[in-house]
Amino acid sequence: MRTGRPRGFCIETALDRAMTVFWQKGYEGASLSDLTQAMGINPPSLYAAFGNKEGLFRAVLERYDGRRKELMDSVMAAPDAKTAAQLFLEGVAEFSADTNGRNPPGCLLVQSGLSCSDQDIPDVLAQHRAEKEKMLRERFERDRKDGNLPKSANPTVLASYLVAMANGMCVQASAGASTKDLMAVVKLALDAWPVGDKPAKKSARTLQRAV
């Protein structure tokens, strides 16, 4: 077993509380006092566990990804590309406007620091967002290869479109849009989804190119 005095607080709980602070105030707006107070610990405990403020933030982002894993899993497991797109956007509409717990509306990866005094913060956020876009792109590439997407469709553009839509919805959620509002947008957004070009799925829509 590990030697030394055992840690007196739960890392996961502390990260959850730090997440709320970063989410509400942004990376730079969240002061060390805000964070330690919310986490219920003193500065040395924070620095011992996470190195510094940026280290804590990165740990929070990892945990945030964990919270979104369930949604991404269901998206990746969807039977076809359009269902995947629908699950993705509806999931975003759901959680981004949901203030169930103490988390603010919106998405941590969008609103905690697109612009910052320290450029590392926008960069790491962009990496996390890009990771999700990559998952979608690779899934759509497989779909296209398997004939579940028209050959005319461009997986890169489709993934970019969905992520842009999702991020935009998060911006609106942060300003007060409801899940219902966002669901209406999602429904419209899915009308752009490419169908036809393959006999796999029949649709009332005519042929159209995706890109």
Please identify which residue in 9, 74, 135, 183 interacts with DNA, judged by CB under 7 A.
Answer: 9
CB 159 within 8 A of CB 131: no
Please identify which residue in 18, 21, 38, 41 interacts with DNA, judged by CB under 7 A.
Answer: 41
Between 41 and 210, whose beta carbon lies closer to DNA? 41
Considering the complex, what minimum distance in angstroms separates the CB of residue 12 from a copy of itself? 22
Question: Pattern 73-112, binding to a copy of itself, x per CB under 8 A?
Answer: -------------------------------x-x---xxx
CB 82 within 8 A of CB 195: yes
The answer to whether 33 contacts a copy of itself (rule: CB under 8 A) is no
The answer to whether 28 contacts a copy of itself (rule: CB under 8 A) is yes
Name the CA radius of gyration of the chain, rounded.
Answer: 20
Chain residues 178-207 in contact with a copy of itself, contact rule CB under 8 A: 181, 184-185, 187-192, 194, 204-206
The answer to whether 37 contacts DNA (rule: CB under 7 A) is no
Considering the complex, what minimum distance in angstroms separates the CB of residue 56 from DNA? 8
| Residue 209 one-letter amino acid | R
177 binds, among DNA, a copy of itself, none (CB under 5 to 8 A by kind): a copy of itself
**Ramachandran area for residue 66 (φ above 0: left; ψ -120 to 50: alpha; else beta):** alpha
DSSP 21-65: HHHHHHHHHS-HHHHHHHHT--HHHHHHHHSSHHHHHHHHHHHHH
* Of 210, 179, 181, 172, nearest in space to 82 by CA: 210
Between 20 and 148, whose beta carbon lies closer to a copy of itself? 20
Rounded to an integer, what distance in angstroms lies between the CA atom of residue 169 and that of residue 51? 34
